[in-house]
Structure 1
Amino acid sequence: MKALVHEGKTGINGLSYREIEEDAPKAGEVRVKLMGAGLNHRDLFTLTRHKESDPPLIIGSDGAGIIEAIGEGVTNVKIGDEVMINPGLGWRDKSDAPPSGFEIIGLPYHGTFAEKIVIPAENAVHKPEYLTWDEASVISLAALTAYRALFTRGKVKAGMKVLIPGIGSGVATFLLQFSKAVGATVYVSSRSIDKCEWAMQMGAAKAFDSNEDWSSALAGEKMDLIIESVGAATFNKSLDQLRSGGTIVTFGASAGDVVQFDLRRFFYGQFNMYGSTMGSGEEYREMLQFMEQHELKPVIDKVYKLSEFKEAFERMEKAEQLGKIGFSIG
């Protein structure tokens, strides 16, 4: 089968689109003929985390396709079923934190940037009929991350004021849609005028330039919930916009992972802070049910062929995308 394989060199220079042997499913596993896959920032990080001396690795965490083979004992799906892939391995039930041994496909195990993938049967979840292959292929990692951060950790409810700094990423676009669907009032920031305009069209109450004074931009309004994924560049600005007793959830640090903040102001403010990463299989199913109930679809930026991977990676590296970048495979 053809696949996007990382080997021999760190970074994008270690990627090649080539033939690689396909695997057969063992007991409790299925093989999925992939129709599409989604690109995430995690895939950029994988190019440096996967070392030159490591065995060849098919990268990619998002995907959807058709079950073409099943191993012994599999009962939840059958050959011909259309499925989406939950990329989280070993985290079945909702819990405070993932269990020991939790992993994500695409590193250290083969991922979705290929014509086929073998996964545990429990990670194959039936695709909602209203989603196209392009849509279903780019949802999993970003939407699951957004769902857990917003609902499980942030306890979002109707009427809450929610701030999403750095609108434009795949996760952020899901955060905006999920928050609006539950009845929250959403505020966003971005350095991009186009992304701010898009957010307003999607129902944001206010979208402002991240380089502005945030307090002025928000006219002094304080937030009930802030979902932080940018990191050091915005964390203290976000904290300044939180109401007393409010909650900040952080799941990313693309702009710096070391932050200094005023501890005294934090405890006097009675603030709550939660870390969040991905989510469980239980939350994955909840997320898909929520999306289907509200007929939500991912925001798709561009769809490439796997052979055009260099263009796709370059677009993400420059943060030019609005929403999800996808790969068409099947």
Structure 2
Amino acid sequence: MKAILLQQRGREGVAYTSCDTPVLSQGEALVRMEAASLNRVDVYMRESGAGITHDLPQIMGVDGIGRIEKINGPSSLKVGQRVILYPYRFCGTCEFCTQGDQPLCVNAKIFGEHCDGTFATYIAAPTQSLLPIPDHCDGAQAASIGVAYLTAWRMVFTKAEASAGKTALIVGAGGGVACASVQLAKLAGCHVIATTTGADKIDKTLKAGADHVIDYQKENVVERVLALSDGQGVDFAIDNVGEATWGSTLRALKRGGKVVTCGATTGSHPSADLQRLFIRQLSILGSTMGSLQEFDRLVRVFTSGQLQPVIDSVYPLSKASEAFDRLEDPQRFGKVVLTMTDH
């Protein structure tokens, strides 16, 4: 089969090559991949991978969709069925799994991080990590929800407790998770304020569902947020940018507000601003992906047509290097997707 193999760190270490088709263990299904999306963690794995237990070479890719070709063991799934991958291999028996919080599984392995991933013709995946998805669903959109939209779902609905009437600030809305957060916060009935820069991204962010977009290169974000919220600030903020925006994000929160983060693109050591935290009783919440139950809810919302993921571009698997370049392009807006065929 063909795959995108990370052989060593750096751009030159990523190869489009032939690999052996995986052999199934008990409880696994062989999935012929249809499409998968690129995520920031793929760049992190290519450049560093520090803190993630894995061995090279390793097939890249965290999420995606495909069709079952073989099943080893009893399952409610069927050969030929189209499925979407939940990004985790989880044990199902630890304290967190039994509580339904699989992202905290002490034995968790994430595709493309701890084990072979989805940028391949085939993947062997536990059947418990596969959910059916209808044939009518757009392949590129379906392949995009496993990481970015699941991460955004947990942040917006579970952590921030978004609901109608609340005001949300989404920082850096051009990224995959942030763009997804704009859509989901709007779906929840929130008044959505987003930040980005450039006329094209501003227009696309408005089309994604933002009520107001602040150009952070031309405007004072805090002043604009306060002006748009009658001087109160926002109920919650989604900020994955990190050091560059952290201070302004905290100042944009109303009393008792929340900031939720799943990343630190510009650095992971911002000022804690402790006085502001305790005087205004702010909450800082960390989040990573989502549970299997949250994923099921997300998939149901997507398949019902209530959510249409924003796709920036689609590349064949053999053009993965170009897809990586597009992922890192400042003009990129939405998800970059790989299809497993060159046709």
Note whether the superposition's TM-score is higher than 0.5.
yes
Q: Which runs of 5+ in 2 are unaligned?
A: none
Secondary structure of 1:233's partner?
Answer: helix
Alignment partner, residue 296 of structure 1: 307
Secondary structure of 2:104's partner?
Answer: coil
Secondary structure of 1:278's partner?
Answer: coil
Rounded Cα–Cα distance in structure 2 between residues aligned with 1:55 and 1:253: 25
Matched, 1:64 2:65: yes
The percent identity for this pair of structures is: 33
Alignment partner, residue 49 of structure 1: 48
Rounded Cα–Cα distance in structure 2 between residues aligned with 1:202 and 1:49: 32
Rounded Cα–Cα distance in structure 2 between residues aligned with 1:260 and 1:202: 31
Rounded Cα–Cα distance in structure 1 between residues aligned with 2:330 and 2:87: 23
CA 192–183 in structure 1, closer or farther in 2 if over 3 Å, else same: same
Alignment partner, residue 269 of structure 2: 258
Q: What amino acid does structure 1 have at the position aligned with 2:63?
A: D
Structural RMSD (CA): 1.8
Checking the alignment, whether the CA contact within 8 Å between 2:102 and 2:291 is kept in structure 1 is: no
Rounded Cα–Cα distance in structure 2 between residues aligned with 1:308 and 1:43: 15
1:257 offset after TM fit, Å?
Answer: 0.7
Checking the alignment, whether the CA contact within 8 Å between 1:131 and 1:297 is kept in structure 2 is: no
Residue pairs, 1:162-177, within 5 angstroms = 162-177=168-183
CA 35–229 in structure 1, closer or farther in 2 if over 3 Å, else same: same
Rounded Cα–Cα distance in structure 1 between residues aligned with 2:234 and 2:103: 25
Checking the alignment, whether the CA contact within 8 Å between 2:133 and 2:303 is kept in structure 1 is: no
Checking the alignment, whether the CA contact within 8 Å between 2:222 and 2:249 is kept in structure 1 is: no
Checking the alignment, whether the CA contact within 8 Å between 1:88 and 1:281 is kept in structure 2 is: no
Q: What amino acid does structure 2 have at the position aligned with 1:41?
A: R
Rounded Cα–Cα distance in structure 1 between residues aligned with 2:305 and 2:250: 31
1:244 to 255, 267, 283: 255
Q: Which runs of 4+ in 1 moved over 6 A?
A: none
Alignment partner, residue 86 of structure 1: 86
Matched, 1:14 2:20: no
1:219 offset after TM fit, Å?
Answer: 4.5
Report Cα offsets for 1:74-127 as digits up to 9, x if no partner.
x13110000011112217554396121222100221000000000110111111
Alignment partner, residue 2 of structure 1: 2
Matched, 1:23 2:25: no
Checking the alignment, whether the CA contact within 8 Å between 1:88 and 1:279 is kept in structure 2 is: no
Rounded Cα–Cα distance in structure 2 between residues aligned with 1:14 and 1:141: 24
1:63 offset after TM fit, Å?
Answer: 1.0
Matched, 1:214 2:251: no
1:238 offset after TM fit, Å?
Answer: 0.5
Checking the alignment, whether the CA contact within 8 Å between 1:4 and 1:18 is kept in structure 2 is: yes
Rounded Cα–Cα distance in structure 1 between residues aligned with 2:211 and 2:140: 29
Rounded Cα–Cα distance in structure 2 between residues aligned with 1:114 and 1:97: 24
Secondary structure of 1:234's partner?
Answer: helix
**TM norm structure 2:** 0.91
1:27 offset after TM fit, Å?
Answer: 0.9
Q: What amino acid does structure 2 have at the position aligned with 1:113?
A: F
Q: Which runs of 5+ in 1 are unaligned?
A: none
Report Cα offsets for 1:222-261 as digits up to 9, x if no partner.
1001011110100110110100011111111001110113
Checking the alignment, whether the CA contact within 8 Å between 1:166 and 1:188 is kept in structure 2 is: yes
Rounded Cα–Cα distance in structure 1 between residues aligned with 2:321 and 2:290: 29
CA 185–133 in structure 1, closer or farther in 2 if over 3 Å, else same: same
Report Cα offsets for 1:198-226 as digits up to 9, x if no partner.
12223312101123211332243210010
